[in-house]
Structure 1
Amino acid sequence: MHKKILILDFGAQYSQLIARRVREQQVYCELHPYDVSEAFIREFDPVGIILSGGPNSVYEEEAYRASQAVFELGIPVLGICYGMQALTHALGGMVAPAQAREYGSAKITHIEANPLFAGLQPPLQVWMSHGDRIEQPPRGFTPLAASDNSPYAAMGNVGRGLYGVQFHPEVAHTPQGVDILRNFIFDVCGCQPKWTPASFIEDSIERIRAQVGGERVLLGLSGGVDSAVVGALLQRAIG
């Protein structure tokens, strides 16, 4: 099986785009709700986790929060925008409303040497979309980049493989964003560019054969895409 990236969705408009960017690097990933359980994470067995952006403020009572296990299983994590704030809040840092909402193109500077920004030279043009900012990072984290409005535009605990960026590396408005994602996926998480849609089909066929064995299968075909794909895979797997 290929090494996998798990993306946790906090309700961001760009969540599917994050998944697309990962798959464009020929790395398998899946997008799941932010509140998946520790048992699910262990069974999925990702080599890295990406936390998406989202519309909430982490200090609100009803804010979306991931399982604490996300940060305690020794799996590298990259928090994007709200995901960075969720990481900060979960690990004891401080998030507060920014004096001015930061939306649109911005430049980040003061980039410290670290795996996430390897090969990139400041200043970098990035896309911001947030009304809160990090006031105090969690213990063990250091600032990796800053913007005019965000002293912690990026932060990290390099030893634990935990990173956060206040901007959106997945959008085209961050020209070198794909390079940042590649650094996380390949250098931090240790993935290799080996996955393709064709390999996903073959993996699915193998799993079906292993699960079904010599039994027969009854499929309820609705006419929709999901059941039609299942039917096609079953046909190829067991005839």
Structure 2
Amino acid sequence: MLALAFLVSYPTVSFSHYDRAIAVFDFGSQYSQLIVRRIRELGYQALLHQPNQIGQIGNPSAIILSGGPRSTAEPDAPDIDFQRLMAYGVPVLGICYGMQLLNLKCGGRIHPGTTREYGPALLRPVVSDGLMAGVTDSQVWMSHSDTCERPASARVLAENQDGVPVALQWDDRTFGIQFHPEVSHSEQGGRMLANFLAMAKDPAPFEIGAFKDRLVAETREIVAGRPVVCGVSGGVDST
């Protein structure tokens, strides 16, 4: 990400507010930045946020909750304000930990695992619409130990090779998947992400030139001719 550090006394300003962006909430997954990259590769603006920033994301067109290394069974497990999340009225996708968190919020249960499932698994869609439109039996990448017990009202979208549900839909705009669609090991992960983004509410397009021009314009407005020290980091949209 492009980072600006202002080492003077005038106010700092966040560059993370873009209307109609896909808001990705980071729950500590090693793949959180990769989710943002995959969305941008599909042509949409995406921005990464922390869960405590749920009220500071402007007007998102869709929301994704990332995976993470923690268990929802832990007393201090990462959480998010579910009422605020749903108040945006946009499609929501939970990935791995994000799915488990949504399952709890939607009335399901989580069963802590004693061993970690890490590696390839077989995805078998049981529906052919929505998130699974055009998706066939294929390999996906798992990285979890806990499992979801869905509420009776939840719809199963896909199972693994053992018949265990690994993709759920709780209502017409809330989805969860127990695997990582953003990694290349998930053979049809890009299709599933594209299916989800097709549900987004008028998503903002991503084009690196326009992104750069906006940052330059905002920086000039903030700095207004005063001296500034700028630190540039590497990342998916750096120089």
TM-score (norm 1): 0.81
Secondary structure at the counterpart of residue 21 of structure 1: helix
Gap runs ≥5 in structure 1: 227-231, 233-239
Aligned partners of 1:162, 1:72: CA distance in 2, in Å? 12
| Residue 123 of structure 2 corresponds to residue 115 of structure 1 | no
Question: Which position in structure 1 is the counterpart of 2:209?
Answer: 198
For these two proteins, the number of residue pairs brought into alignment is 216
Contact 2:45 2:203 in 1 (8 A): no
Question: Which position in structure 2 is the counterpart of 1:217?
Answer: 225
Question: Which position in structure 1 is the counterpart of 2:190?
Answer: 178
Contact 1:34 1:65 in 2 (8 A): yes
Question: Which position in structure 2 is the counterpart of 1:75?
Answer: 90
Counterparts of 1:49-88 in structure 2, within 5 Å, are 49-68=63-82, 69-88=84-103
Aligned partners of 2:23, 2:168: CA distance in 1, in Å? 20
Aligned partners of 1:194, 1:75: CA distance in 2, in Å? 17
Aligned partners of 1:143, 1:204: CA distance in 2, in Å? 42
Counterparts of 1:224-239 in structure 2, within 5 Å, are 224-225=231-232
**CA displacement, residues 135-180 of structure 1 (integer Å, 9 cap, x when unaligned):** 123x642111111457220001352x11100000000100110111
Secondary structure at the counterpart of residue 78 of structure 1: strand
Aligned partners of 1:31, 1:207: CA distance in 2, in Å? 19
Aligned partners of 1:20, 1:183: CA distance in 2, in Å? 16
The letter of the residue matching 2:212 is: I
Shift of 1:33: 1.0
Secondary structure at the counterpart of residue 153 of structure 1: strand
Question: Which position in structure 1 is the counterpart of 2:20?
Answer: 3
The letter of the residue matching 2:232 is: V
Secondary structure at the counterpart of residue 47 of structure 2: strand
Question: Which position in structure 2 is the counterpart of 1:168?
Answer: 180
Gap runs ≥5 in structure 2: 1-17, 234-238
TM-score (norm 2): 0.81
Counterparts of 1:5-44 in structure 2, within 5 Å, are 5-38=22-55, 40-41=56-57, 44=58
Given the superposition, is the C-alpha separation of residues 140 and 71 from structure 1 closer, same or farther in structure 2, using an over 3 Å criterion? farther
The letter of the residue matching 1:217 is: G
| Residue 136 of structure 2 corresponds to residue 125 of structure 1 | no
Contact 1:3 1:27 in 2 (8 A): no
| Residue 157 of structure 2 corresponds to residue 144 of structure 1 | yes
Shift of 1:191: 4.8
Given the superposition, is the C-alpha separation of residues 23 and 7 from structure 1 closer, same or farther in structure 2, using an over 3 Å criterion? same
| Residue 161 of structure 2 corresponds to residue 154 of structure 1 | no
Question: Which position in structure 1 is the counterpart of 2:9?
Answer: none
Q: Which deviates further from its counterpart, 96-105 or 51-60?
A: 96-105
Aligned partners of 1:15, 1:188: CA distance in 2, in Å? 21
Shift of 1:90: 2.0
Q: Percent identity?
A: 37
Shift of 1:198: 0.5
Question: Which position in structure 2 is the counterpart of 1:229?
Answer: none
Question: Which position in structure 2 is the counterpart of 1:235?
Answer: none
Shift of 1:71: 2.7
Contact 1:133 1:150 in 2 (8 A): no
Q: Which deviates further from its counterpart, 63-72 or 197-206?
A: 197-206
User: What RMSD over aligned residues (CA atoms) do the two structures have, in Å?
Assistant: 2.4
